[in-house]
Amino acid sequence: MNYKTILNEIQPTTKEKEQIHTLSNNLIKYLNRILKEQNINAEALLVGSVAKNTFLRGKSDIDIFINFPLSTPMDQLKELGLKLGYQCSEEFNGKAEEHYASHPYLTSCIDGYDIDFVPCYKIKSAKQLKSAVDRTLLHTKYITSHLKEEQKSEVLLLKKFMSEIKTYGSEFKVGGFAGYLCELLILKYGTFEKLLENAQNWNYGIIIDLEDYGTGKNFNDPLITIDPTDENRNVGAALRLEKMVDFIIASRNFLDETNNDKKSDYFKPLNKKQKISTSEILKKFKDRETHTLLLKFEIPEIPPDSLHPQLNKTMESITEKLETKDFSIFKSDYWTDENKLAIFIFELNVYKQSKYIIHEGPKIWSKKSCDNFKNYRGDKLYSIDDLLVLTKERKFKTPESYINYILTNENIHNIKIGKNLKDLIIATYDLDLIENFLSNKNFENYSFKKDFLNFLDDFIYPKQYVKR
């Protein structure tokens, strides 16, 4: 297949490239000048996809790292980093905002581009690592010195393909392939197509070890890609099995496709086959004959990479607890706008329980244990096999009653809950059947309506994105 047309659409335009490089150069020159003026022993460097020339059209995040010598105290590095960022942002009339990764950094919007100003240590090898961001320098150097000019287009094809099949990005929300991982995969297999050909036969635990460190056997992950700059690190550690599988299946689907027009569609957003209206979604849920509950609540102001694990953990804990109460979950998931709201969805196929359960007591053999149990439980005991048992009324006959029970200050300890979610979920939650929630007049005016319906569509039709 000829990828020219696709590349024409995804490569940055000449104008975009010029603008970005001019801007980055100016920023770096300015920073290095004031570093010299202020007699600070540090150097600003361009890193990341802009430095590597592997960014997609319109996706240029300019990463400027301010490198301090290893002798700099951490506190000083953090303080100077932010200060220099602010200074530069003001000089260029940017709009600055603090963020937090392994330590605080500044993001500023200048001339329509997002610039990250990140302080870091100038290290020569991973052994000198003081904070996680320090690696970026090593990664940038490794890629710029190893990736051939013609392979940069291959990286772009891969990144775009990954984006459209929803496997691109190592942030928790996606759990997919980091940009650096994409670059290493192209280094390994040479081209986008060669990578896909190989990926369709990957096994669990496949090892990619460009520098032949031989350390792959120390990891137990679905995809083990040894960092060329650190033999003890798996670049694919954050990749979820699910996303690796999605990529494998998408590779097969893409390669099995004989129609080139359809192949090109893999580089475009999925054009969903079904209509996504409230009534269509409701019809689909009705067809499933399940009982679907939505739990809506307000979320705290925390970064997405904190928010998502907490939402996931809470949702999974409620799901597990419902199962222990004899309800059966067909499927559960969560949605969030990452700003104000989150909604858990619990789709149940067993959602009503009969009145009694059999509560198991001690084995009958010890008279003393039986007498103790009888004193505690009353005398309505009987035996099943060699167990003393009691038919007692079930505490929770519906999933709603259980959820309402645990979402209180007294009982929230029964579930594992994200620490930042606890208070808000108790104070603001709203539990309703999906049919009531979606039929509510307010829903039609909700700002998140479109995004949420799309999420529900993905819920009903899983893995749409891996195929065109």
* Residues that bind a copy of itself in the complex, under the rule CB under 8 A: 200-204, 222, 241-242, 245-246, 248-249, 252, 287-290, 326, 328, 330, 349-350, 353-356, 364-365, 367, 370, 382-386, 397, 462-463, 466
463 closest CA partner among 220, 235, 181, 270? 270
Q: Which is nearer to a copy of itself, 255 or 426 (CB)?
A: 255
**Residue 177: count of CB within 10 angstroms of its CB:** 27
Cβ atoms within 10 Å, residue 112? 7
Contact (Cβ atoms closer than 8 angstroms) between residue 86 and residue 106? yes
Contact 331, 347 (CB under 8 A): yes
Cα torsion at 230, 115, 191, 164 (round to 10°)? Answer: 110
Query: How distant, in Å, are the alpha carbons of 20, 316, 421 from that of 428?
Result: 44, 20, 11
Q: Where in 299-408 does DSSP place strands (E)?
A: 328-336, 341-350, 356-363, 381-384, 387-393
Least distance CB 421 / a copy of itself (angstroms): 26
Cα separations (Å) of 171 from 50, 81, 167, 174?
19, 24, 11, 6
Whether 105 contacts 99, CB under 8 Å:
yes
Q: How far is the CB of 321 from a copy of itself (least distance, A)?
A: 18
Question: Which residue, 153 or 253, is less far from a copy of itself as judged by CB?
Answer: 253
Quick one: 188 or 252, whose CB is closer to a copy of itself? 252
Contact 205, 224 (CB under 8 A): yes
CA dist., res. 468 & res. 466, Å (int): 7
Least CB distance to a copy of itself at residue 326 (A)? 8
Count Cβ atoms below 10 Å from residue 338 Cβ, excluding itself. Answer: 14
CB 345 within 8 Å of CB 316: no
* Shortest distance (Å) from residue 214 CB to a copy of itself: 24
For residue 166, the minimal CB distance to a copy of itself (Å) is 13
CA distances to 36, 167, 292, 402, 419 from 329, in Å: 62, 26, 9, 14, 24
Whole-number minimum distance, CB 256 to a copy of itself, in Å? 9
- Shortest Å distance, C-beta 410 to a copy of itself: 27
Closest to 418 (Cα-Cα) out of 335, 254, 326, 302: 302
Alpha-carbon distances, residue 16 vs 104, 150, 174, 239, 255 (angstroms): 29, 19, 27, 31, 32
Of the pair 74, 241, the CB lying nearest a copy of itself is at 241
Report the residue number, 15 or 367, with the smaller CB distance to a copy of itself: 367
* Residue 227 CB, nearest approach to a copy of itself (Å): 24
- Residue placing its CB nearer to a copy of itself in the complex, 98 or 371: 371
Q: Closest separation between CB of residue 243 and a copy of itself, Å?
A: 11
The beta-strand segments (E) located in 77-217 are: 95-100, 104-110, 113-121, 206-208
Q: How far apart are CA 455 and CA 334, in angstroms?
A: 9
* Residue 401: CB minimum distance to a copy of itself, A: 14
Do residues 237 and 224 touch, judged by C-beta distance below 8 A? no
- Of 267, 265, 263, nearest to 1 by C-alpha is 263
CB-CB contact of 292 with 348 (8 Å): yes
Min dist. Cβ of residue 206 to a copy of itself (A):
10
